[in-house]
């Protein structure tokens, strides 16, 4: 059996990540608190979050996507009895550099929550 151990895999120039071919992976992700001041706990390929209004956020990518045809999935809540969904806000078209999302409760109201997790796949 072969084993490969590496610390970093980069492109041929050594300046960026490798491009996956015929594979799909998260191109960006974030775990953040939106209750009060928005605070990113951890993220990948996300430069910042813009707090647009209650329950409405713009996720700004560090490295742009190849286009705006990506999938976004997310969830949020304040505790196990307060679960929310996070969806693309299609009132603002997604771009290759950012996507606006909303955090909604079961009755379709937007809310800020303590726990939010979003993944972008392309």
The two structure tokens encoding residue 95 = 């771009």
pLDDT tens-digit map of 9-23? 888 888 877 776 777
The two structure tokens encoding residue 58 = 């713009």
**What average pLDDT is seen over the chain?**
90
Alpha carbons 72 and 84: distance in angstroms, whole number: 15
Which sign does the torsion angle of CA 17, 19, 119, 100 carry? positive
What residue spans define the domains of the chain?
26-121
- Look at residue 93 in the predicted model and tell me its pLDDT: 95
14-23, 58-67, 80-89, 97-106 — which is least confidently predicted?
14-23
The two structure tokens encoding residue 68 = 């705006």
Quote the pTM value: 0.81
- Look at residue 3 in the predicted model and tell me its pLDDT: 86
Q: Could you tell me if 86 and 116 are in contact, meaning their C-beta atoms sit under 8 angstroms apart?
A: yes
């Amino acid at each position: 059996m072969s084993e490969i151990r590496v610390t970093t895999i980069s492109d041929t120039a050594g300046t960026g990540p490798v491009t996956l071919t015929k594979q799909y992976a998260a191109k960006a992700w974030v775990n953040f608190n939106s209750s009060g001041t928005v605070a990113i706990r951890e993220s990948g390929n996300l430069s910042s979050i813009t707090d647009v209004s209650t329950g409405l956020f713009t996720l700004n990518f560090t490295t742009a996507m190849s286009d705006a045809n990506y999938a976004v999935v997310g969830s949020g809540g304040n505790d196990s009895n307060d679960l929310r969904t996070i969806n693309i806000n299609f009132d603002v078209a997604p771009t290759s550099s950012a996507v606006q999302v909303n955090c909604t409760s079961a009755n379709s109201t937007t809310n800020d929550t303590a726990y939010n997790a979003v993944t972008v796949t392309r």
